[in-house]
Chains A and B, each alone.
Chain A
Amino acid sequence: MQVKVKLFFTLRRGRSRVVDIQLNPGATVKEVIINLGIKPSEVAIVMVNGHYSNMEKQVDDGDIVALFPPIGGG
């Protein structure tokens, strides 16, 4: 199945804003993150299809996953 991943702030570095990835059915957000070569500890907030979610959430074909590092002030 295919999932679209939107990356924000530092997670974009060396990657692009949006990445399409192929996964086996039943994969979780955590697997999406690992698949992209990102350390799960670098991700603070997860959204799936525009809703607040978490790492354990199973994703479906066509889902849009957005990943955020801990973002502070400035």
Chain B
Amino acid sequence: MMFPEAKILDVDLTNQKISVRSLPGEIYRLYPGGSSLGLYLILQEMQAGIEPFSPDNMLVFTVSPFTGLPVAGLSRVVVTTKSPLTGTIGDSQAGGFFPAYLKANGYDAVVFKGRAANPVYLFVNGDKVELRPADHLWGKVTGDAERLIKEELGDEGLEIAQIGPGGENLVRYAAIMNMCNRANGRNGTGAVMGSKNLKALVVKKNKIAVKAFDKEGLTTLTKNVKERIRNNESIDGLGEFGTDGDLDGFNELGFLPTNNWQTGWFPEGAESICGTTMAETILVKRDTCYTCPVRCKRVVEVPGKVDPFYGGPEYETCAAFGSYCGITDLETVALANQLCNMYGIDTISCGGTIAFAMECFEKGLFNTDDTGGMELKFGKGDNLAILIEMIAKRQGIGDLLAEGSYRAAQKVGGEALKLSISVKGQELPAHMPQFKPAVGLIYAVNPFGADHQSSEHDTFLVADPDSQERRWLGQLGVYKQYQDTFDLDDDKVRFAFDTQCFFSILDTLCLCQFVWGPAWELYGPDDIIQLCKYGIGWETSLFELMRVGERRINMMRYFNAREGFTRSDDALPERLFDPMPDGPSKGITLDKEEFEQALNTYYQFAGWDVKTGNPTETNLRKLSLDWVVKR
């Protein structure tokens, strides 16, 4: 079989030059899409030590050979660049319809280099690709910019990935938004786009021409999909309650990050901001991505306050603006979500940074002179909207908070340094390592900062051994049964590393993790093998795919090593090693020594140097990355 070629659109913003090239199938097979392809191009073409906001930073949008096939969970776009938040390689994924239509125009990747002299946007209509002026769009929130672009092109049939004022103003955690409610949220990719004076990437909704290699074969995955959903409680429940369905459960267990992670116990607010409450109150519709029947996306409305156009909050957003900030009111959280989508900023880092500011205020590190008169106290939701706007526009204290909690803490100094709950400068997502230590391990070692979607969670190891979740994990060699989630022994570390490689496959092939993940999702690991075979004629195995996943992680760690990152950057915030203070989890502790030991084990399992935490030359060569070493 011939592996498909990758078609790459190169855009030199400085010189306004556009060209197209293709990458042979034998290379694409090693880096088959997503940030793997992005990393391949970046490591080939970008020097070490380039500042994130330099014109020489590359900004790469990628899909995969699978994007646009009519199967659930195959419409994802990945953005890869050097992150202005973490200083590491940056990686961020988003769904929606944009990815399928980017591919429908024939492209696997769009590479931006340089910086335009004035604001521009790129309009892609098949072979017709043009840079258009965007001065009149600069400063506009996403909804307004989208309307104006559709008006001036006289076309409603467009998909638009764009930045809002957050990206324009270089908020270090600015997002790239598509549909005005799907975000390449993390790592500040939107700020890099802003630094290039690039407002939007607009694609025409041309006919989706991606053809399955074996259409008949592919129906083995698609024909019973409704029944598959009905028979899968987790997936059906995800559709019903959204990702926020878990929130009050985490609280009941004593592990819902609250008041800037000082506790895991939020009895006064968890019920009111959970997914069940959302479904019973402000939810007006469930939305979806291209050909996905799961429909996990929320659309919420509060007349006169929250506009359904901007979608609705995920679990992470409800936690970041809810429990992190001690805020108990769902409408306030929904409005904060809307504002982030309008201004184009990441909800997790934004909520995490505001929670940090609240604790600084309560501890006397900020006063009302710093905040322009605002009382930044936990539980006070009335300042939230104004704070988000100030961050997006870098006004007043917003200018400091736009830097993220880590840099803000460096500036404030003293006790503030302990209050930034981040790894490599990226604020932690809402899964507590004290409850899920394997997730905590991945928070520490993940190349682009703390991330909850880069490995499987510990909770499945206490699930029934006969459950579907465990049978699927069994395909990855995960078999050990645990009584509770708190261990961090060798088997746990292997579980963390192996599932990290598996999730890395998904972020390479651009598969939605809720559809293709290795445990509770719609399809299991063996189904991916079928997808490869019927979708593009790739006869492969989990063995080859796990190598693909491992290769991506190693390329990322190699990129970081070039930038001077070492093991000391793989550290969790100190607060996480304190005993849980109250509620049902009271006294439970993540043991620091055990954690350090697990880190050693992780590097050994990964084949990396234990002292530096960086990939060894041998391991890179094992993964066909000898060209990286030779450069």
Partners in one complex: yes
Contact, CB under 8 Å: A70 / B484:
no
Report B449-494 residues with CB < 8 Å from chain A CB: 452-453, 456-457, 459-460, 462-464, 466-467, 469, 483-485
Contacts of A43 in B (CB 8 A): 464
Tell me, yes or no, whether A4 is within 8 Å of chain B by CB: no
The interface bits of chain A over 1-21 (1 if a CB of B lies within 8 angstroms of the residue's CB, else 0) are: 000001011101100010000
CB distance from B412 to the nearest CB of A (A): 32
Question: Complex formed: what's the CA distance from A15 to B456 in Å?
Answer: 28
Contact, CB under 8 Å: A72 / B460:
yes
Contact, CB under 8 Å: B233 / A44:
no
Contact, CB under 8 Å: B237 / A9:
yes
Tell me, yes or no, whether B314 is within 8 Å of chain A by CB: yes
Contacts of B517 in A (CB 8 A): 72-73
Contacts of A52 in B (CB 8 A): 484, 584
Question: Complex formed: what's the CA distance from A43 to B439 in Å?
Answer: 21
Contact, CB under 8 Å: B252 / A66:
yes
The interface bits of chain B over 315-343 (1 if a CB of A lies within 8 angstroms of the residue's CB, else 0) are: 11000000000000000000000000000
Question: Complex formed: what's the CA distance from A65 to B483 in Å?
Answer: 18
| Contact of A8 with B252 at beta-carbon distance under 8 Å, contacts A42-B467, A70-B520 already known | yes
Report B508-546 residues with CB < 8 Å from chain A CB: 513-514, 517, 519-520
Tell me, yes or no, whether A36 is within 8 Å of chain B by CB: no
Contacts of B314 in A (CB 8 A): 74
Q: Which residue of A lies closest to B465 (CB)?
A: A41
Stretch with Cβ within 8 A of A (4 or more), from B242-250, B298-306, B350-358, B621-629: B242-250
Contacts of B316 in A (CB 8 A): 74
The interface bits of chain B over 559-594 (1 if a CB of A lies within 8 angstroms of the residue's CB, else 0) are: 000000000000000000000000110000000000
Most buried by B among A44, A50, A68: A44
Contact, CB under 8 Å: A73 / B483:
no
Contact, CB under 8 Å: A70 / B460:
yes
CB distance from A25 to the nearest CB of B (A): 26
Contact, CB under 8 Å: A73 / B241:
no
| Contact of A10 with B233 at beta-carbon distance under 8 Å, contacts A70-B460, A72-B457, A74-B314 already known | yes
Report A35-72 residues with CB < 8 Å from chain B CB: 40-45, 47, 50-52, 54, 66, 68-72
Tell me, yes or no, whether B5 is within 8 Å of chain A by CB: no
* Of the residues B238, B459, B583, contact of A70 by C-beta under 8 Å: B459
Contacts of B459 in A (CB 8 A): 44-45, 70-72
Contact, CB under 8 Å: A73 / B464:
no
| Contact of A47 with B253 at beta-carbon distance under 8 Å, contacts A41-B466, A70-B467, A74-B314 already known | yes
Contact-residue size bin, chain A (C-beta under 8 Å from the other chain) = 20 to 34
Tell me, yes or no, whether B236 is within 8 Å of chain A by CB: yes
Contacts of B519 in A (CB 8 A): 70, 72
Tell me, yes or no, whether B262 is within 8 Å of chain A by CB: no
Question: Complex formed: what's the CA distance from A50 to B252 in Å?
Answer: 8
CB distance from B529 to the nearest CB of A (A): 22
Tell me, yes or no, whether B234 is within 8 Å of chain A by CB: yes
Contact, CB under 8 Å: B241 / A9:
yes
Contact, CB under 8 Å: B240 / A13:
yes
Most buried by B among A52, A71, A74: A74
| Contact of A54 with B483 at beta-carbon distance under 8 Å, contacts A17-B276, A44-B459, A70-B469 already known | yes
Question: Complex formed: what's the CA distance from A9 to B270 in Å?
Answer: 13
Contacts of B453 in A (CB 8 A): 73-74
Question: Complex formed: what's the CA distance from A41 to B463 in Å?
Answer: 7
Contacts of A54 in B (CB 8 A): 483
Contacts of A73 in B (CB 8 A): 431, 439, 452-453, 456-457, 513, 517
Contacts of A40 in B (CB 8 A): 464
CB distance from A51 to the nearest CB of B (A): 7
Contacts of B513 in A (CB 8 A): 73
CB distance from B524 to the nearest CB of A (A): 14
Question: Complex formed: what's the CA distance from A9 to B245 in Å?
Answer: 5
Contact, CB under 8 Å: B483 / A45:
no
Report B207-254 residues with CB < 8 Å from chain A CB: 233-234, 236-238, 240-241, 243, 245-246, 248-250, 252-253
Q: Which residue of B lies closest to A42 (CB)?
A: B233
CB distance from B410 to the nearest CB of A (A): 30
Contacts of B452 in A (CB 8 A): 73-74
Report B108-136 residues with CB < 8 Å from chain A CB: none
Question: Complex formed: what's the CA distance from A6 to B249 in Å?
Answer: 10
Q: Which residue of A lies closest to B237 (CB)?
A: A10
Contact, CB under 8 Å: A74 / B233:
no
Contacts of B252 in A (CB 8 A): 6, 8, 47, 66, 68
Question: Complex formed: what's the CA distance from A8 to B256 in Å?
Answer: 14
Question: Complex formed: what's the CA distance from A40 to B314 in Å?
Answer: 29
Contact, CB under 8 Å: B233 / A47:
no
* Of the residues A12, A41, A45, A69, contact of B234 by C-beta under 8 Å: A69
Q: Which residue of B lies closest to A43 (CB)?
A: B464
Contact, CB under 8 Å: B276 / A71:
no
Contact, CB under 8 Å: A74 / B464:
no
Question: Complex formed: what's the CA distance from A66 to B464 in Å?
Answer: 17
Q: Which residue of B lies closest to A40 (CB)?
A: B464
A contact set with B: CB distance below 8 Å = 6, 8-10, 12-13, 17, 40-45, 47, 50-52, 54, 66, 68-74
Other contacts beyond A42-B467, A68-B253, A74-B514: 10, CB < 8 A: A10-B237, A43-B464, A45-B253, A50-B584, A68-B249, A68-B252, A70-B467, A73-B457, A73-B517, A74-B243
A-B contact pairs, 8 of them (CB 8 A): A6-B252, A8-B246, A41-B464, A42-B464, A42-B467, A68-B249, A71-B246, A74-B514
Listed from nearest, the 7 A-B pairs whose CB atoms lie closest are A10-B237, A74-B243, A8-B249, A41-B464, A70-B463, A44-B463, A10-B233
